Structure 1
C-alpha cells in the first residue's frame, strides 16, 4: 500500500514538473499572440493595462494592406524546395563520404563542413551578382537555391554521422544477394538513417525560415518576400513600429514549425540521440 502511495506521489510530481515546464515554454508564444490580438494604442500605452481589449486590427491589416498570403506561399515554396534539394544532394554525398574509401576523403568531408563556418556576409555580394547575371533576382527560385546552398554542408555532415553507425555487414549481405550500391542506399541505408535524415531536414527548415540577409538581398520587391523580410516592413515608415503586426506575423511564422516538430517528435528525438557527429 505504501509503495502504491509513493508511486502515485512520484507520478503527481512528474506531471507537476512537466506542466510547469510546458507553461514556461508556451508562455512567450501565448504572449506574442496576445500582443497580436490587442490594439496598438494599448501596447504603446505608458500605463500598464491589466485587462487588454481583444482586437483584430493587426489581423485585418496583414491580410488586407499587406499580401501576407504571398509571403507565406513564398516562404513555403522556398523552404520546402531548398530542403528537397539538400536531401537529394546530401544523401548520396554522405553515403560516399561514409562508405567509400578514396584519397582525400576526410579532407573533402572537412571542407564541406568548413563552408558552413564561413560568415554569410562574405559571399553575399558575389551571390547577388551571380543571380543578377542569371536573371534570377527577386524570384523564389533564387531563394530556394541560396537556402539549399547555405544548409547543404550541415545536412550532409549530419546524415554522414548516422551512416557511419550502420554496420558494414548489412551492406555486405545485400551485395552477396546481388544488390547494387544504389539499391542498398535506397532500400537499406536511407530507411535505417531516417531519424537522422528527418533531424537534418528539420534543422535545415529552421535555418531557412530564419534566414534574413540573403532574403533581403535577393528579394528586392514584394514578389519574392518571405515572412522574415515581411517582419521588417512593420519596423519603420511613417507609422512607426507596428508591434501588434510584428507579434502576429512572428506567431504565424513560428506555429507551423512547432506543429512540424510535434508531428515528427518521435523520429526527431531518435535522430537527436543516435550516434554522434564524427570527424
Structure 2
C-alpha cells in the first residue's frame, strides 16, 4: 500500500512539473514581449545582448501623443464583436437546418459552405472594395463587421453543425411529442446542449477576425476605421525605421482582449474543444 501511495505521489509530481514547464513555455514569451514595450529602442536594435536593460516609457509616450490607440482598440473590439454576433445569429439556425432537416443534397450543401472558407481572400478583394464603395460603407467599422462576418460565417456554421450532430435526436423527438416547434427546440434544447461548441466557434471567429489584415487595409482607407492590425503596420517603417518597442506594445494591447476573453470562458471553451469529433 505504501508503494502504491508513493507511486501515485510521484505521478502527481511529474504531472505538476510538466504543467508548470508548459505554462512557462506559454507565459514567458508573452511577458518577454511585454518587457520590450518598456525598453528604449536604442537597446533593442543593438547586436549585443543586454542582460540588465534600462526601463523606459518612450513607447507609451509615443502611443499617447502621436497614435490614437484607444480609437484603434475600440474599432477592433466593435468590428470583431459585431462580426461574431452576426455569425452566431446566422450560423445557429443554418447549422440546425443542416444537422436536423432531411433534404436532398444536405451533405453537399454543408461541404459547399465550408469550401467557401478555402477560397483565397485576394480573389474577391477588388469586387468587395467596389461593393462597399457603391453602398457608402467604405472606411467604416460597419463594413469591417460585415466582411469579418462573411469571412468566418462558413467556418462557424460548420463547427456548430458538428456539435448539433452529436446531440441525441431522442431529446428533439420528446420535445415534439410535447408539442414543441422548431424554434422552441432550437432555443430551449439545441442551443443549451451545444453551448460549449457555440462558444468555441465564437472564439475562433474572433481570433480570425482580429488577425484579418488584407480586407482591413483595403476597406479602412483612413485612420478613423483603422484596427489594431493596421496600427501595427504603421510602426514597421518610415524615416525612423522599425519601431520595435511600439510594435511589441501595440501587439500586447491587441492580444490582451482575446487573452482575457479566453481566461473568462476557459471552462466552456475546454468543454467545447473536447466535446466530440467533427462530423462531415
TM-score interval for Structure 1 and Structure 2 normalised by the shorter chain = over 0.9
For 1:207-228, what per-residue CA distance to the aligned partner results, in whole angstroms no more than 9, with x for missing partners? 0010000000000110000000
Equivalent residue, structure 2, for 1:136:
137
Equivalent residue, structure 1, for 2:68:
67
Pick which of 2-11 and 252-261 moved more: 2-11
Runs of 4+ with >6 A deviation: none
Q: CA deviation at 1:89?
A: 0.1
Pick which of 267-276 and 201-210 moved more: 267-276
For 1:155-179, what per-residue CA distance to the aligned partner results, in whole angstroms no more than 9, with x for missing partners? 0000000111111111111111111
Query: Whole-Å Cα distance in 1 between the matches of residues 218 and 245 of structure 2?
Result: 26
Q: Does 1:216 align with 2:212?
A: no
Pick which of 27-36 and 153-162 moved more: 27-36
Query: Whole-Å Cα distance in 2 between the matches of residues 130 and 255 of structure 1?
Result: 33
Query: Whole-Å Cα distance in 1 between the matches of residues 262 and 50 of structure 2?
Result: 34
Equivalent residue, structure 1, for 2:263:
262
For 1:18-41, what per-residue CA distance to the aligned partner results, in whole angstroms no more than 9, with x for missing partners? 111111111211111111110001
Q: Does 1:29 align with 2:30?
A: yes
Q: CA deviation at 1:273?
A: 1.3
Q: Does 1:148 align with 2:153?
A: no
Query: Whole-Å Cα distance in 2 between the matches of residues 105 and 13 of structure 1?
Result: 48
Pick which of 54-63 and 66-75 moved more: 54-63
Equivalent residue, structure 1, for 2:277:
276
Long gaps (5+) in structure 1: none
Aligned residues of 1:199 and 1:268 also touching (Cα < 8 A): yes
Query: Whole-Å Cα distance in 1 between the matches of residues 101 and 276 of structure 2?
Result: 20
For 1:147-200, what per-residue CA distance to the aligned partner results, in whole angstroms no more than 9, with x for missing partners? 000000000000000111111111111111111110110000000010110010
Compute the TM-score of the two structures, normalised by the length of structure 2. 0.97
Q: Does 1:116 align with 2:140?
A: no
Equivalent residue, structure 2, for 1:160:
161
SS of match in other structure, 2:237: coil
Equivalent residue, structure 1, for 2:15:
14
Aligned residues: 279
1:234-249 correspondence to structure 2 within 5 Å: 234-249=235-250
For 1:38-77, what per-residue CA distance to the aligned partner results, in whole angstroms no more than 9, with x for missing partners? 0001101232211001111101211221000000000000
Query: Whole-Å Cα distance in 1 between the matches of residues 172 and 6 of structure 2?
Result: 52
Distance 1:277 1:10, change over 3 A: closer
Compute the TM-score of the two structures, normalised by the length of structure 1. 0.97
SS of match in other structure, 2:242: coil
Aligned residues of 1:63 and 1:69 also touching (Cα < 8 A): no
Q: CA deviation at 1:114?
A: 0.7
Equivalent residue, structure 2, for 1:40:
41
For 1:69-91, what per-residue CA distance to the aligned partner results, in whole angstroms no more than 9, with x for missing partners? 00000000000000000000000
